[in-house]
Structure 1
């Protein structure tokens, strides 16, 4: 199984994400892809619409496998349901939007839109929660006692 997490950020997030990636490697190949360039930086200073267009452009070539977009208005899952979402898929791609989220057009290309919480989360916190839930879901599917 391959899992790719795509995010738009100025720098590597840290926040303990590397630990979850390392622990999850025994169950799946995990790829953390952080995208940012001068075009995005400029677009974010111009407008929301221009930013969303740039996000779409940079993400378009990365759509592969079962694609999941993160959005605060997406479907909420508990950990057991999230584990089922991961089960029996060869490749999953998660997309985390930039400062303005993901465009409606890009979200329409996703197989599913999910929410990690009803709360609004900072980008780094959302990414950490996603990685923890990926690890937890893989453990549930493998019968590992991490999830109690």
Structure 2
């Protein structure tokens, strides 16, 4: 089993970068984890619903290009089912039971995920009813995965 983290946008804050790298090293000692960072689209100051939808679709196409048919996909969405560490562990086990070669956790850009990505997902998960910056969510997910996989 391999874990993929497919994320949109870069983490600019050094503290977040360091934590992500630290968790990635911990996880890689137990299971292969691949971090796939995709370029986010620039968002104009004046945006209409049409522009927002187009940006999400463009970012969604980039995400979908990184997902294989054999991947179990868990999309992080605010309206997903609430997860804790034990449920994340169950998601990984479910992916293995379904014969999937990897589980891909997907975090969209600042506008969220496209409908196509959400439709492709095998499950939608959420950590909270609150909205977090996608850079912070990346750190939070990595910490949960490190705790779940490595028992830190």
Same fold (TM over 0.5): yes
TM-score, with length taken from structure 1: 0.83
| Aligned CA distance change for structure 1 residues 10 and 81 (closer, same or farther; 3 Å) | closer
CA RMSD of superposed structures (Å): 1.8
Aligned-pair CA distance for 1:105: 2.5
Counterpart CA distance in 2 for 1:10 and 1:136 is 23
1:84 aligns with 2:87: no
Aligned 1:107-126 pairs, distance under 5 A = 107-126=118-137
Aligned-pair CA distance for 1:10: 3.8
Q: Secondary structure at the match of 2:29?
A: coil
For 1:4-54, what per-residue CA distance to the aligned partner results, in whole angstroms no more than 9, with x for missing partners? 1111114565151100000011211111111106xx22xx22521111111
1:20 aligns with 2:23: yes
Question: Residue 80 of structure 2 corresponds to which residue in structure 1?
Answer: 74
Task: Decide which of 34, 37, 40 is 1:34's aligned counterpart.
Answer: 37
Structure 2: which 5+ runs fail to align?
none
- Moved >3 Å (runs of 4+): 10-13
Q: Secondary structure at the match of 2:120?
A: coil
TM-score, with length taken from structure 2: 0.81
For this pair of structures, how many residues does the alignment match?
137
Counterpart CA distance in 2 for 1:11 and 1:18 is 11
Q: Is the 8 A contact 1:4 1:31 kept in 2?
A: yes
Aligned-pair CA distance for 1:120: 1.2
Counterpart CA distance in 1 for 2:10 and 2:140 is 19
